[in-house]
């Protein structure tokens, strides 16, 4: 695949980025497209390895490596290198309904499993994938393909995130009439309101949703099943129901002062900002502003980084991101984190670059434990008390020890908690009388996806807990297959 000696001749190059000092002044895509020739050269780096592990999704030590969608990566990398873009697009769509979403928002566990990554920077898989799908849209190759006939079966899908959209696309393809219920005013779930505009522009989500509508899928927005649309009516109106509502319950942070004004969850901050931005370009004021505030983000993951980038665009006064973990090495630990595990390394993401550009330094503080929040007389946050910690392990159990003398008080006007989610919301599940696991997720076996309730299926984060977009699309495709089998007695879906 690719050019046999390409991996020795060419260096890795990713999709470009606009200058941080410029892009922080707007909400446009922070990246810049790569020209066709450069993308083809990146395709040439795919090294015709004997056993390509990039497209074999698995979990090693609890972390995903390789692509859970089993993407035909070596095939479309080779086709791109040869300039056969349209054929590459067919291969990309063969395993993934939405390569533009994964080409933007996926952390690329495929690259972590790339064989070239053993001793060189891996193939720029995500960059190539996005280039393929954008080429497809630019040339009009991606068109609505409604089914030739209908089966007469009706399916309701609750939730329009990547799991729900993937399930809808697959079920519609074989002729079922699909209705997707979304409680927000726009389709996309966390694709729309959980990922900020400069990282995943809404027009990219809307572009695909419009195609799905043209293919015959119906969307009911501002409609929460169990509240606006009774569960009894769903059961009566549809032959099957797929629960794809995600895991949206915030992980609680048990810290003194957590109820102070100015302490909020990251997803509330991001959701309100995107909605106000799309509704009115922020003129309606219906969002949590970081303007001229001392902002602290608690949590070192992608959501925390998105908060950094958003706060910078609000023109905050100061910005710090607490990471409970110690600063990692820029190189993989070959003993504790060997290939093909996903490399656990120090990364500098787009939000870190933007904060450094605006404020003069990387905003992160490592190995920091939040002890308490302190407010003023009006009940508003004014400072955060922390201590540094060191981590050790005993019999596989992680133990964090506070380091005496490292206590610190940080001024704060806005604290954004970005420490993840603990599971799905329970109200609808209780109404449906769906059985749950001890961690509150829906009890439905992987590969089968049926719940204890006849005709009700569940997939994605609502079933597996907080996870990656590739797992969401993977389970959406799989649950569609099992739902089709339930409705028809057999299935041709992959």
Same domain, 224 and 341: no
DSSP secondary structure, 53-98, as one string: -TT--EEETTEEES-TT---HHHHHHHHHTT-HHHHHHHHHHH-S-
Of the pLDDT bands very low, low, confident and very high (cuts 50, 70, 90), residue 70 is very high
Alpha carbon distance 41, 81 (integer Å): 6
Task: Express as a percent the part of the chain with pLDDT over 90.
Answer: 93
Residue 455: pLDDT over 90: yes
Cis peptide before 340 (omega within 30 of 0): yes
Q: End of a domain among 388, 419, 450?
A: 419
Same domain, 279 and 236: no
Residue 355: pLDDT over 80: yes
Task: List Cα–Cα distances, 270 to 6, 188, 192, 457, in angstroms.
Answer: 41, 14, 10, 30
Alpha carbon distance 187, 278 (integer Å): 13
Task: List Cα–Cα distances, 160 to 56, 197, 252, in angstroms.
Answer: 26, 18, 25
Residue 301: pLDDT over 80: yes
Same domain, 296 and 380: yes
Distance of CA 212 to the CA centre of its chain: 20
Of the pLDDT bands very low, low, confident and very high (cuts 50, 70, 90), residue 15 is very high
Same domain, 276 and 412: yes
Q: How high is the mean pLDDT of the chain? A: 96
Distance of CA 132 to the CA centre of its chain: 20
- For the entire predicted model, the pTM comes to 0.96
Residue listed under structure tokens 């291969």: 91
Mean pLDDT of 73-87: 96
Same domain, 428 and 448: yes
CB of 246 closer than 8 Å to CB of 440? no
Residue 218: pLDDT over 90: yes
What are the b/e assignments for 15-42, b being 16+ CB within 10 Å? beebebeebbeebebbbeebeeebbbbb
Alpha carbon distance 199, 469 (integer Å): 14
CB of 251 closer than 8 Å to CB of 214? no
Q: Is residue 148 part of a domain?
A: no
Per-residue model confidence (pLDDT) at position 336: 86
Per-residue model confidence (pLDDT) at position 448: 98
Instruction: Tell me the residue range of the domain where 217 lies.
Output: 154-249+422-488
Same domain, 317 and 434: no
What would you report as the CA-atom Rg of the chain, rounded to the nearest whole angstrom?
23
Of the pLDDT bands very low, low, confident and very high (cuts 50, 70, 90), residue 50 is confident
Alpha carbon distance 168, 171 (integer Å): 5
Alpha carbon distance 474, 163 (integer Å): 8
Q: Residue 430: give its domain's CATH number.
A: 3.50.50.60
Same domain, 185 and 318: no
Q: Is residue 367 part of a domain?
A: yes
Q: Residues with Cβ < 8 Å from 123, sequence gap 6 or more?
A: 7, 12, 42, 45, 46, 47, 54, 73, 77, 111, 114, 116
Residue listed under structure tokens 């895991």: 247
Q: End of a domain among 419, 446, 463?
A: 419
Q: End of a domain among 419, 445, 479?
A: 419
Same domain, 42 and 178: no
Phi-psi region at 282: left, alpha or beta (left = phi > 0; alpha = psi -120 to 50): left
Per-residue model confidence (pLDDT) at position 215: 98
Same domain, 226 and 258: no
Q: Is residue 493 part of a domain?
A: no
Considering its fold, how many domains does the chain have in total?
Answer: 3
Alpha carbon distance 216, 145 (integer Å): 9
Residue listed under structure tokens 């942070």: 253
DSSP symbol at 117? G
């Amino acid at each position: 695949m690719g050019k046999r000696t390409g991996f020795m001749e060419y260096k890795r190059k990713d999709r470009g980025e606009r200058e941080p000092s410029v892009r922080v002044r707007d909400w446009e895509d922070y990246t810049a497209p790569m020209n066709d020739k450069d993308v083809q050269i990146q395709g040439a780096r795919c090294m015709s390895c004997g056993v390509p592990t990039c497209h074999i999704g698995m979990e090693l030590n609890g972390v995903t490596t390789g692509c859970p969608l089993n993407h035909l990566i070596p095939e479309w990398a080779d086709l791109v290198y040869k300039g056969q873009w349209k054929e590459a697009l067919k291969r990309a769509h063969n395993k993934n309904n939405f390569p533009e979403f994964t080409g933007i928002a996926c952390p690329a566990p495929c690259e972590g499993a790339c064989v070239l990554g053993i001793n060189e920077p891996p193939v720029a898989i995500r960059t190539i994938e996005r280039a393929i799908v954008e080429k497809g849209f630019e040339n009009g190759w991606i068109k609505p393909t409604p089914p030739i006939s209908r089966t007469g079966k009706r399916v309701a899908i609750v939730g329009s995130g990547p799991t729900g959209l993937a399930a809808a696309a697959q079920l519609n393809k074989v002729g079922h009439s699909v209705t997707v219920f979304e409680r927000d005013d726009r389709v996309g779930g966390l694709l729309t309101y959980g990922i900020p505009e400069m990282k995943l522009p809404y027009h990219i989500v809307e572009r695909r949703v419009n195609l799905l509508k043209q293919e015959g899928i119906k969307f009911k927005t501002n409609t929460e099943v169990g509240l606006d649309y009774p569960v009894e009516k769903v059961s009566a109106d549809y032959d099957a129901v797929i629960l794809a509502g995600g895991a949206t319950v915030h992980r609680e942070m048990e810290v003194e002062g957590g109820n102070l004004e100015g302490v909020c969850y990251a997803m509330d901050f991001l959701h309100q900002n995107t909605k106000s931005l799309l509704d009115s370009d922020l003129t309606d004021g219906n969002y949590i502003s970081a303007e001229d505030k001392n902002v602290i983000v608690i949590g070192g993951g992608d959501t925390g980084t998105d908060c950094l980038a958003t706060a910078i665009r609000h023109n905050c006064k100061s910005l710090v991101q607490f990471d409970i973990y110690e600063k990692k090495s820029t190189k993989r630990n070959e003993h504790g984190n060997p290939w093909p595990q996903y490399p656990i390394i120090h990364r500098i993401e787009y939000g870190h670059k933007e904060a450094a550009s605006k404020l003069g330094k990387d905003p992160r503080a490592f190995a920091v434990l939040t002890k308490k929040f302190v407010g003023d007389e009006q009940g508003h946050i004014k400072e955060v008390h922390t201590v540094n910690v060191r981590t050790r392990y005993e019999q596989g159990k992680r133990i964090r020890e506070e380091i005496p003398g490292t206590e610190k008080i940080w001024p704060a006007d806005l604290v954004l908690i970005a420490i993840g989610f603990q599971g799905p919301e329970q109200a609808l599940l209780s109404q449906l009388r769906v059985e749950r696991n001890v961690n509150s997720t829906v009890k439905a076996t992987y590969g089968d996806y049926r719940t204890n309730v006849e005709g009700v299926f569940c997939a994605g984060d609502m079933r597996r807990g907080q996870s990656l977009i590739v797992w969401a699309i993977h389970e959406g495709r799989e649950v569609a297959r099992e739902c089709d089998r339930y409705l028809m007695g057999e299935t041709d879906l992959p």
